């Protein structure tokens, strides 16, 4: 008999005896909370899009991420150029896409694109990664990227600064909404990696003191058009 | 007394007298406590969230067979190779065989307590593989050739000065004892190791039955890189990590972050559903997922304590435990320390060898109260004590209770015992805690209350 059958056999034998239901609701017939119920317990997110934009900005600031909202493509371009000059970028890594192409053009620097095969060492030398994203989550101040929407698995973590170019309509209120949007968009053919990025890389492993940029980016910038 | 007990007692006594250690741990946890409470308060109802999480894990664990079948079918459908291991030895052999097949030399690892549980690093190093821990805390304890101090904060027992000296000695690079400078040293060292590694190894925080995904939670980005750059990826997954639905993560990810580190969300929560897929630009060509039983099914068979398998390894019960905070993580001598470790270690490694951990408790219940999935931890400690004494009663304890039974059932004996106690108590002070004291194990650290001059019964009879 294979180990699979051994393990499943032991599990089935163990489960012959029922365990009492958890907590004080043992009389209830059903035990799994419905997905919409989850939303009721999570931190509040307000009702209007404006409130949620403000909430996203607050949460992003708490996480030490930079978030800016722009009224026009020109404003976005100006902001990108400003960061480029301030941080003295020389080389960028990015992937093909309407917004990321626009950003790369605006910056006018040599680009390592991940759309075909790329060299990891080359990407590692880049000063910044510019990617698109799937979603912005107001409840957490984080962004959601996938291996399909953001230039693969490494791009959003290898260079020291990650700049996300997003659209307003990508903002969702809370985590349940984020998971349902991902399900609608991809199921059953999910990208092999879906990552909820909530702030720049961090660690507290030395005396519980916060340090940004442990292995991933030291800085996370979210520019939203 | 087994060596596990005597080691525990010796280390516990040493650590509780180490005031610097106690002060240091208390300071390290102070920020966590404040942040955790603030984050719990941000939930509209943390209590309802706990109940929902407990119910969801109940569903997952009590239909574990169906969920594992669904999970592995989905994983395999997208090209993932699934392996099943009943024991730690089987898991080690499966992983070593993958490395041999790939002719791998260097392995980069992200944090995985399951790999500590099966002593993977040691086994792989014996075979000549180079294993590098990439999580900063794990990297530090690996350099010290130590086990993690805490399941979430592996190096929380070390001061910046100790880490600076360690880096200076082992890496020849430590510009200062500033945490930021030290972190950057590790970042530089690790960068090239990711790129050079043949195999990336990860643990897992959740497995989603509905969609066939493994979810990994981390703050540093090391697991992201581990799962992105090497050509082969191996994930070791305890079978209890399963959740039924994709959307369940909407509850579990913020709860894990809040309970574990006082964060709204951990920095990276990443769901993997396969190796590199057609049309994708990077990621491993091969992904192996190893499912580990290692006596979890024995715990599953114990209906009374089955909910211990609901554990999401947030470490919250360690942080609030007065025992953990005083004796420290290494004293336990186990992979999983603190209240959850005391509950499950007897199941995973033998009740008689590890029952002492269930006695090392004040039964204050702080662990049960803080557990985000409502595991009845402090009652399980009592269950373990009961089970241990039923399966192998201690001779002295049995005799003591028999004598007590005889004395307490016979008024004459009881009267005599009281008189003897009253007359001899003044002499007890002279020998208290010394080798001459018959109750030294108890009185060494405790005072007996003085016997009353007059008992209630005497007072009642003489009250006129």
Report ipTM (2 d.p.): 0.95
Quote the percentage of chain B above a pLDDT of 70. 100
Which range marks the domain in which residue B266 is found? Answer: 43-294
B17 in a domain, yes or no?
no
Residues in chain B within 8 Å Cβ distance of A55: none
- Of the residues B237, B264, B294, the one at which a domain ends: B294
pLDDT of residue A36: 67
- Which positions in chain A touch B48 (Cβ < 8 Å)? 40-41
Whether domain A51-201+218-224 has CATH 3.40.50.10420: the reply is yes
The pLDDT, as a whole number, for residue A27 is 47
What is the rounded CA–CA span in Å between residue B170 and residue B182?
13
pLDDT at B434: 81
* A vs B: CB pairs below 8 A: 304
Rounded to an integer, the average pLDDT of B130-136 is 95
Instruction: Tell me the mean pLDDT in the region B326-336.
Output: 95
A205/B61 CB distance under 8 A: no
Query: Which residues of B119-223 form beta strands (DSSP E)?
Result: 130-133, 199-202, 206-208, 213-218
Q: Note the Cα A114 to chain centre separation in Å.
A: 18
* B51 in contact with A, Cβ within 8 Å: yes
Nearest to A40 among B44, B266, B274 (CB): B44
Confidence band for A31, pLDDT divided at 50, 70 and 90: low
Average pLDDT score over residue span B322-336: 96
Task: Confirm whether B398 is domain-assigned.
Answer: no
Burial A39-65 (b: 16+ CB within 10 A, else e): bebbbebeeeeeebbebbbebbeebeb
Distance from CA of A74 to the nearest CA of B (A): 31
Domain annotation covers residue B31: no
Question: In terms of domains, do B286 and B430 share one?
Answer: no
B251 and A204 in contact by Cβ < 8 A?
A: no
Beta carbons within 8 Å of B448's beta carbon, 6+ residues apart? B425, B428
Say if residues B207 and B271 touch (Cβ distance below 8 Å).
no
Task: Work out the minimum CA distance from B188 to partner chain A, whole angstroms.
Answer: 9
Average pLDDT over residues A110-123: 93
Which position has the higher pLDDT, A5 or B392?
A: A5
What CATH number should be reported for the domain holding residue B160? 3.40.50.10420
Which of B94, B264, B295, B302 is most worth mutating to test chain A (most A CB atoms within 10 A of its CB)?
B264
Residue A211 CB partners (closer than 8 Å, separation 6+): A202, A203, A204, B179, B180, B183
Q: Tell which residue, A140, A21, A161, has the closest CA to residue A88.
A: A161
Contacts of B282 in chain A (CB under 8 A): 114, 118, 147, 152-154
- Give contacts of B90 with chain A, Cβ < 8 Å: 3
| pLDDT higher than 60, residue A28 | no
Residue B444 clears pLDDT 90, i.e. is over it: no
- A215 → closest Cβ in B134, B155, B180: B134
Q: For chain B, what is the domain count?
A: 2
Residue with tokens 């984050």: B39
Q: Please determine, for residue B43, whether its predicted confidence score (pLDDT) is greater than 70.
A: yes
Match 């709204």 to its residue by tokens.
Answer: B264
Mean pLDDT of A57-72: 97
Tell which residue, B405, B399, B427, has the closest CA to residue B417: B405
Q: Which residue in chain B is spatially nearest to A201 when comparing CA positions?
A: B220
Q: How far does the CA of residue B240 sit from the closest CA of chain A (Å)?
A: 11
Q: Could you tell me the two tokens for B71?
A: 């999970």
What's the pLDDT at A1?
63
Mean pLDDT value of segment A170-184: 97
Q: Which residues of A touch B57 (CB under 8 A)?
A: 22
User: Residue A35 above 80 pLDDT?
Assistant: no
Residue of chain A whose Cα is closest to the Cα of B154:
A205
| pLDDT-based confidence at residue B329 (cuts at 50, 70, 90) | very high
CA distance A57 to chain B (A): 15
Run of H or E residues at B271 = strand B268-272
- Residue B48, pLDDT score: 93
Where in chain A are the domains?
51-201+218-224
Nearest by Cα to B281 from A9, A64, A95: A95
pLDDT at residue B438, as a whole number: 74
Query: How close does chain B come to A94, measured CA to CA in Å?
Result: 12
Assigned domain for B327 exists: no
Question: B15 lies in a domain?
Answer: no
Q: Which DSSP helix (H) or strand (E) runs through A211?
A: strand A211-212
> Residue B331: what pLDDT?
96
3-state secondary structure of B254: helix
Chain B CB contacts of A45 under 8 Å are none
Nearest chain A alpha carbon to B267: A198
Is residue B55 one of the residues assigned to a domain? yes
Per-residue pLDDT band at B122 (split at 50, 70, 90): very high
Interface test with B, best of A44, A122, A205 (most B CBs within 10 A): A205
Of B62, B78, B155, the CB nearest to A19: B62
The answer to the question of residue B90 being in a domain is: yes
Region of poorest pLDDT, from A24-33, B30-39, B317-326: A24-33
B192: Cβ–Cβ under 8 A, 6 or more apart, which residues?
Answer: none
In B43-135, alpha helices (H): 46-62, 64-77, 88-101, 113-117, 120-126
Chain A contacts in chain B segment 311-340 (CB below 8 A):
none
**For residues B376 and B374, what is the distance between their CA atoms, to the nearest angstrom?**
6
* pLDDT attached to residue B424: 85
* Contact list, A183 vs chain B (CB under 8 Å): 246-247
Counts for chain B of helices (H) and strands (E), in that order: 24, 10
Mutation for A interface: B270, B293, B318, B369, most A CBs within 10 A = B270
Cα separation of the two ends of chain B: 54
Judge whether residue B138 has pLDDT over 80.
yes
Contacts B269 to A, Cβ<8 Å: 195-196, 198
Q: Report the pLDDT value the prediction gives residue B36, as an integer from 0 to 100.
A: 97
B141 and B271 housed in the same domain: yes
SS3 A149: coil
pLDDT tens digits along B399-409: 989 999 999 99
Of B230, B260, B294, the position where a domain reaches its end is B294
Contact flag A14-B300 (C-beta cutoff 8 Å) = yes
Which residues of chain B from 370 to 409 reach within 8 Å of chain A, CB to CB? Answer: 374
Residues 6+ apart with CB under 8 A from A74: none
A214: nearest CA partner in chain B: B220
In a domain, B306, yes or no: no
CB contact under 8 A, A43 and B42: yes
Convert the pLDDT of each residue in B152-164 to its tens digit.
999 999 999 999 9
Q: Which of B83, B226, B228 to mutate to test the interface with A (most CBs of A within 10 A)?
A: B228
Whether B260 has a pLDDT exceeding 80, the answer reads yes
Q: Which of B294, B322, B343 is the last residue of a domain?
A: B294
Work out the mean pLDDT of chain B and round it to a whole number.
94
Cβ atoms within 10 Å of A110's Cβ, excluding its own: 10
| 8 Å CB contact of A153 and B228 | yes
Q: Do the beta carbons of residue B398 and residue B423 sit within 8 Å?
A: no
- Among all chains, which residue has been given the structure tokens 């995985």? B112
Q: How many CB atoms lie within 10 A of CB B462?
A: 8
SS3 state at B373: coil
Pick from A7, A115, A217: CB nearest B297: A7
Dump pLDDT digits (tens) for B212-234: 999 999 999 999 999 999 999 99
Chain B, residues 169-198, CB within 8 A of chain A, namely 179-180, 182-184, 186-187, 190-191, 195
Tell me the mean pLDDT in the region B90-109: 97
Residues B231 and B284: beta-carbon distance below 8 Å:
yes
């Amino acid at each position: 008999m294979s180990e699979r059958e051994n393990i499943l056999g032991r599990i089935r034998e163990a489960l012959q005896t029922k365990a009492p239901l958890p907590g004080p609701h043992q009389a209830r017939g059903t035990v799994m909370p419905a997905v919409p119920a989850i939303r009721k317990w999570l931190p509040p997110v307000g009702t209007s899009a404006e409130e949620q934009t403000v909430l996203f900005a607050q949460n992003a600031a708490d996480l030490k991420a930079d978030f800016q909202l722009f009224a026009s493509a020109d404003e976005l371009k100006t902001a990108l150029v400003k960061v480029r000059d301030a941080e003295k970028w020389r080389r960028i890594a990015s992937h093909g896409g309407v917004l990321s192409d626009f950003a790369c053009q605006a910056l006018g620097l040599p680009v390592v694109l991940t759309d075909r095969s790329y060299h990891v060492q080359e990407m590692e030398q880049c000063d910044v990664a510019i990617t698109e994203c799937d979603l912005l989550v107001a409840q957490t101040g984080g962004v959601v990227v996938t291996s399909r929407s953001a230039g693969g698995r490494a791009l959003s973590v290898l260079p020291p600064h990650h700049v996300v170019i997003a659209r307003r309509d990508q903002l969702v209120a809370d985590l349940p909404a984020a998971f349902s949007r991902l399900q609608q968009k991809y199921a059953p053919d999910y990208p092999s990696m879906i990552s909820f990025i909530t702030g720049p890389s961090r660690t507290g492993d030395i005396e519980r003191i916060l340090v940004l940029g442990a292995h991933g980016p030291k800085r996370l910038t979210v520019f939203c058009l | 007394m087994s060596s596990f007990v005597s080691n525990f007692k010796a280390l516990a006594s040493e650590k509780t007298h180490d005031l610097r250690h106690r002060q240091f741990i208390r300071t390290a946890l102070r920020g966590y406590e404040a942040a955790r409470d603030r984050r719990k308060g941000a939930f509209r109802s943390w209590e309802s969230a706990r109940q929902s999480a407990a119910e969801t894990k109940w569903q997952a664990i009590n239909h574990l067979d169906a969920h594992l079948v669904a999970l592995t079918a989905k994983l395999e459908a997208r090209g993932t190779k699934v392996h099943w291991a009943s024991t730690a030895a089987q898991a080690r052999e499966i992983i070593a065989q993958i490395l041999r097949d790939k002719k791998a030399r260097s392995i980069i690892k992200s944090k995985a307590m399951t790999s500590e549980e099966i002593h993977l690093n040691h086994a792989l190093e014996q075979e000549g593989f180079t294993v590098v821990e990439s999580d900063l805390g794990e990297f530090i304890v690996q350099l010290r050739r130590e086990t993690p101090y805490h399941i979430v904060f592996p190096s929380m027992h070390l001061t910046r000065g100790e880490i600076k000296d360690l880096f200076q000695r082992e890496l020849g690079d430590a510009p200062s004892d500033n945490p930021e400078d030290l972190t950057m040293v590790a970042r530089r060292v690790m960068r090239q190791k990711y790129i050079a590694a043949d195999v990336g190894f990860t643990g897992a925080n959740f497995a989603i039955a509905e969609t066939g995904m493994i979810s990994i939670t981390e703050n540093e980005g090391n697991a992201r890189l581990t799962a992105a750059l090497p050509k082969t990826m191996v994930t070791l997954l305890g079978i209890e990590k399963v959740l039924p639905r994709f959307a369940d993560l909407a509850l579990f990810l913020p709860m894990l972050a809040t309970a574990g580190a006082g964060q709204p969300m951990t920095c990276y929560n990443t769901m993997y559903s396969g190796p590199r897929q057609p049309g994708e630009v990077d990621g491993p060509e091969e992904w192996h997922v190893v499912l580990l039983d290692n006596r979890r099914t024995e715990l599953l068979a114990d209906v009374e304590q089955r909910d211990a398998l609901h554990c999401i390894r947030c470490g919250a019960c360690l942080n609030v435990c007065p025992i953990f905070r005083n004796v420290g993580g290494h004293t336990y001598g186990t992979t999983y320390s603190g209240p959850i470790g005391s509950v499950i270690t007897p199941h995973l490694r033998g009740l008689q060898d590890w029952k002492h951990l269930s006695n090392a408790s004040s039964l204050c219940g702080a662990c049960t109260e803080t557990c985000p999935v409502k595991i009845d931890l402090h009652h399980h400690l009592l269950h373990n004590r009961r089970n241990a004494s039923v399966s192998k009663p201690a001779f002295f304890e049995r005799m003591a209770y028999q004598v007590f039974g005889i004395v307490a059932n016979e008024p004459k004996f009881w009267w005599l015992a009281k008189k003897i106690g009253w007359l001899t108590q003044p002499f007890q002070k002279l020998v208290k805690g010394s080798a001459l004291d018959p109750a030294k194990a108890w009185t060494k650290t405790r005072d007996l209350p003085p016997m009353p001059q007059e008992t209630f019964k005497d007072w009642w009879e003489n009250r006129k």
